[in-house]
Structure 1
């Protein structure tokens, strides 16, 4: 059994001209004690009705009501039971009401005697401002709405309503309550707004201590408001400090720049409760920025993935110039979005941003590190009315932006450190490979040359035929060593950028023929795979350095021969990749390449089988040289393979020579003597090639 309608609402139905007042708990406690002290100090025996919300609040005042019960037998105490409180008629009447009753959220005290009467009828305010939740959690800051008065009509009606509640839970008290009505509330229930129906009460001299108590309540209320304001200010500072610490802790846990920006924008958006918060990377010289990190409230249009224009943007320019936060309280009134913006030709763009993304107020906070711009944090207020950005809020966002800047620098420094470590590891692997390969490639031919020369020197009776075999072996290994040194020198020149490219129109077919002649001359006497050349003289002219182009073709063909069995096949084709480039492909049916090694085959000293476990000789520099040469004329080179023993294809692109309209289309071919006497000749020397290039130039 419970009653859902609050007593205050019932009372206001009878007295609609009354307006409830706001009271803090501390004020109600003082008023209640004042009313109770009057009962204890007076010789009269009044009617006392008190309603406590819960048993624990009653226990704090139980001793006072025990003392009042000595003066009068008409004391009624109501409370929601929690432990021992129950219906009882021991010292005074206790009434345990249902926890679902509206009394569970109300505070009442009514005192009626022959000399005076007063009542305090209040209900706790359950609607709490979200900004005040922290401070209202304190018991002293609980708020109540209700009526406190000495008016006889109101007090008698409040007593009648409360006695009706008592009868709901304790009907056995009907006779006692009827006596109270006859003695204190007179013969009939007060249901009118005038005093004429209560002549006895009207003729009673009411001692009303209102002025003193009113001043006391005013003093308590003012003090409570000051305390509440102070608590609210402290709670806000604590909340801001907590937000700053949470953002700092979150971004310091990660060294991933994207994760840092994502955490920062989410924490800021949630902490400030703003409509939209975005953060993006940018530099002072950037013209655009892409929004990749955003926080929005439900119903707010998203800008993630949009492009923010920075060039000729007066807002961005202002932030860059001053290195300070830019505050726009009202986008419809700020001159930077109206007059100045239109004069600079960006007004339309900024106005579109304001309208399309509902920006009523704007805050732009630069992310700086040592006066260098790293990014931007923007807070957008999208309600119909603009807001006043508080100085404390702006300072908090500035502090968070500083932390984000430090975190970004640390993340970038760590990333650079990782890159340096990888480079050092690569250099260490290169050094190890260099030592292993050069040791193997130099020691083996040197040992052979030494044995051959020692045999020739110590065996004067050696036959002429065997002597010739010894000489040929020594010469072959000497050439092998010369090629090794030549590859080192060539790669060093290419990587240092000391090569002067002599670009000219060339016939790709003739360059391929020269490369094939070079390969066949170098491995004359050995059986090689079948080579099919599908390139015709009608192929477009290319613009490249003929000497280096033949070098690339020769090394790719040599590589294909090395890793393809004699029963295999090598194919050379060209095709027009686009209007500006020609694609050359050297394909074989040999050992193939694992898919995860298609990029590493172009590294220096790369050997698929390891430096010391190789079935094919070589330094592992050939493909690295090819990549440097192709990159030098602006082309690209790559490898394709289905896997081990599936063959491989090497592709590279060459710019097509564009014949001017005024010049007849006439094919130019590379100087054969230059190509055969330069790097493409197996027996040429570096000094001869330099001489030839000088004559050619």
Structure 2
């Protein structure tokens, strides 16, 4: 039995001159109580028709209507049932209409007596998403309707509602007919003056209403004004609460991570969604940077992406102004902002170009700072269709967000530094352990040998000359071993402390290589070493290099010594020199020895690294040779690295030397 038109719509169709007004729920409650109090205070027996949206609203007024029923037998109450409400004729008539009925969105109270009338007909206002505000929890619901003392309007409204009652309760037809005869006759002329005018075949009706109660009129005006202020305050509080929750949400989310990239991505996503902005982006930058790359972005709907784009900062007036402000900068309308209109024309990408290409209509730039240090920039882009006006509370909110991001970034960087320190401490502990082990092995062993040899020479005067020579040679060899160990310690210490000054000079790389080969042959003069080959490129003319000759020979000798140690005498060592860059020569020393595990290719350049372990090595050495090579090569801005396919697949050591440019 659902109806398409509300009572209000039907009345406005009959009386088009009526002007509906906006009422709040509290205002309608006050009006309804005033109309009901007029019945209870008087002696008349009027017709009373009240329509409630839901049973729960009726229950709040049931006691009043039982008192009204003691005054008159013509009381009709309509409501959509929820629990117990139904058609009944106990104290007064109750009519239960369907919840789909248009009455479920209306509020009516009509009182018609012999000496006075009062009519309140309203329909609940629908909000933008086509759903009414929850009537249970929101006391600020809005209604559109009319409140009048016009008998003719009240009679028509009563007639419409009585017809609905008959449809739901046919058994009340006789009682309603009696009400019609008593309360709905044609209006008396001295109560209403009707003037009919014919304007272009249209009939315009002017109705002079009786003046409403001045006190009630003032009460309604006061309530309306109060509710407007209350709604404005509630909106302000709701906006502040939303922003507080958003700040807390972003702060909590970014504090869960100690990764700078995750922090920025989380912040930009949550902020963009929370504000409903068209585009939100964050990028890292410093005050002295010429440009920055947009790394994190939030997009709303079909907005063009800026991610991975280069954002030019040099001579950018907006960027410079943000640096001076140390706070957010807002542009309400980019189409008439002089800083954008007058941006430098000779640049590759002007602000006008950015605004046009990326549809930026309203713009906010906020620096991410920590103790005055610029860590990055947060930007909000509104892309239309109309510009927006940034408010002071918006700027305060964004500044609070950027402050939290700045703190989180510093914490993340501090944690990263702490991790680096921990790794350095672990490396130092590893170095200390290796130093102790190597010192014990490389110093104690030769010292013990020297001591045994010297004691034997002292205590055995009858020892043969040949045996004495063997003892002396052994002592000398171990003394040389100790000398090299101490020398490596001193060299690395000097290199790492920066106390070594490289005497760069123009050198012939072939000559340095020949010197290093001579050193290796002298070192292994009593041992058989692998075959050493050089590539044919050595026979060609090489460009001169610029380096310290002594240290260059040291690097070549140590790499060749290393290859000889880990390659069997049946193996092969290859030396190759190539020019893969206009500024550097690349030297490669490859062997067919035992090879290196892929995961250890970086570790082998650490101090005291021993592949086999310090206490179970089959080949002597301090583990400082490659560390010394790295320090020397880095001293002339070169690079050194190793390659290997794994165990028993040989290895290749590469380093670069700068070319002398004439």
TM-score by length of 1: 0.87
Indicate conservation of the 8 Å contact 2:150/2:209, yes or no.
no
* Partner residue in 1 for 2:204: none
Answering whether residue 123 of structure 2 is matched by residue 120 of structure 1, we say: no
Answering whether residue 604 of structure 2 is matched by residue 601 of structure 1, we say: yes
Of 273-282 and 101-110, more deviation after overlay is shown by 273-282
CA distance in 1, matches of 2:593, 2:6: 93
* Partner residue in 1 for 2:409: 408
Indicate conservation of the 8 Å contact 1:510/1:537, yes or no.
no
Answering whether residue 398 of structure 2 is matched by residue 381 of structure 1, we say: no
* Partner residue in 2 for 1:303: 306
Secondary structure, aligned partner of 1:526 = coil
Distance verdict in 2 for CA 1:133–1:348, change over 3 Å: farther
CA distance in 2, matches of 1:577, 1:306: 32
- Structure 1 residues 109-156: Cα deviation after superposition (integer angstroms, max 9, x where no partner): 1122222222111111121599x989x985321111111112222212
| Unaligned stretches of 5+ residues in structure 2 | 197-207
Alignment of 1:91-106 (within 5 A): 91-106=91-106
Indicate conservation of the 8 Å contact 2:133/2:141, yes or no.
no
Distance verdict in 2 for CA 1:529–1:137, change over 3 Å: farther
Alignment of 1:363-378 (within 5 A): 363-378=364-379
CA distance in 2, matches of 1:512, 1:104: 100
- How far residue 368 of structure 1 moved from its aligned partner, in angstroms, is 2.2
Alignment of 1:554-573 (within 5 A): 554-573=557-576
Partner residue of 1:538 out of 537, 540, 552: 540
* Partner residue in 1 for 2:435: 434
* Partner residue in 1 for 2:8: 8
Alignment of 1:674-689 (within 5 A): none
Answering whether residue 184 of structure 2 is matched by residue 157 of structure 1, we say: no
CA distance in 2, matches of 1:322, 1:390: 17
Alignment of 1:138-287 (within 5 A): 139-186=138-185, 208-287=211-290
* Partner residue in 1 for 2:469: 468
TM-score by length of 2: 0.91
Task: Give 4+ residue runs of structure 1 displaced > 6 Å after superposition.
Answer: 193-197
Answering whether residue 22 of structure 2 is matched by residue 19 of structure 1, we say: no
Of 212-221 and 465-474, more deviation after overlay is shown by 212-221
Indicate conservation of the 8 Å contact 1:511/1:549, yes or no.
yes
CA distance in 2, matches of 1:551, 1:327: 62
- How far residue 454 of structure 1 moved from its aligned partner, in angstroms, is 0.8
* Partner residue in 2 for 1:646: 649
Answering whether residue 554 of structure 2 is matched by residue 551 of structure 1, we say: yes
Of 396-405 and 310-319, more deviation after overlay is shown by 396-405
Distance verdict in 2 for CA 1:539–1:651, change over 3 Å: farther
Secondary structure, aligned partner of 1:173 = helix
- How far residue 209 of structure 1 moved from its aligned partner, in angstroms, is 3.1
CA distance in 1, matches of 2:231, 2:653: 78
Of 206-215 and 423-432, more deviation after overlay is shown by 206-215
Indicate conservation of the 8 Å contact 2:272/2:299, yes or no.
yes
Indicate conservation of the 8 Å contact 2:122/2:146, yes or no.
yes
- How far residue 525 of structure 1 moved from its aligned partner, in angstroms, is 2.3
Indicate conservation of the 8 Å contact 2:47/2:112, yes or no.
yes
Indicate conservation of the 8 Å contact 1:533/1:571, yes or no.
yes
* Partner residue in 2 for 1:38: 38
Secondary structure, aligned partner of 2:360 = coil
CA distance in 2, matches of 1:133, 1:541: 84
- How far residue 208 of structure 1 moved from its aligned partner, in angstroms, is 4.9
CA distance in 2, matches of 1:227, 1:264: 33
Secondary structure, aligned partner of 1:141 = coil
- How far residue 449 of structure 1 moved from its aligned partner, in angstroms, is 0.8
Answering whether residue 293 of structure 2 is matched by residue 294 of structure 1, we say: no
CA distance in 1, matches of 2:562, 2:252: 55
Partner residue of 2:318 out of 304, 315, 320: 315
Answering whether residue 76 of structure 2 is matched by residue 76 of structure 1, we say: yes
CA distance in 1, matches of 2:364, 2:327: 11
Distance verdict in 2 for CA 1:234–1:322, change over 3 Å: closer
| Unaligned stretches of 5+ residues in structure 1 | 198-204, 661-697
Distance verdict in 2 for CA 1:558–1:511, change over 3 Å: same
CA distance in 2, matches of 1:137, 1:625: 80
Secondary structure, aligned partner of 1:541 = coil
Distance verdict in 2 for CA 1:293–1:86, change over 3 Å: same
* Partner residue in 2 for 1:519: 520
- Structure 1 residues 619-657: Cα deviation after superposition (integer angstroms, max 9, x where no partner): 001111111122222221111111122221111122334
Secondary structure, aligned partner of 2:85 = coil
* Partner residue in 1 for 2:352: 351
CA distance in 2, matches of 1:478, 1:500: 29
Of 375-384 and 308-317, more deviation after overlay is shown by 375-384
Secondary structure, aligned partner of 1:460 = coil
Indicate conservation of the 8 Å contact 1:595/1:641, yes or no.
yes
* Partner residue in 2 for 1:86: 86
Secondary structure, aligned partner of 2:525 = coil
* Partner residue in 1 for 2:203: none
Partner residue of 2:330 out of 314, 327, 332: 327
Distance verdict in 2 for CA 1:137–1:581, change over 3 Å: farther
CA distance in 1, matches of 2:395, 2:361: 17
- How far residue 407 of structure 1 moved from its aligned partner, in angstroms, is 2.2
- Structure 1 residues 221-266: Cα deviation after superposition (integer angstroms, max 9, x where no partner): 1122222222222222222322232233333332222222223323
- How far residue 375 of structure 1 moved from its aligned partner, in angstroms, is 2.0
* Partner residue in 2 for 1:498: 499
Secondary structure, aligned partner of 2:88 = coil
CA distance in 2, matches of 1:455, 1:470: 8
Secondary structure, aligned partner of 1:573 = strand
Answering whether residue 595 of structure 2 is matched by residue 592 of structure 1, we say: yes
Indicate conservation of the 8 Å contact 2:326/2:372, yes or no.
yes
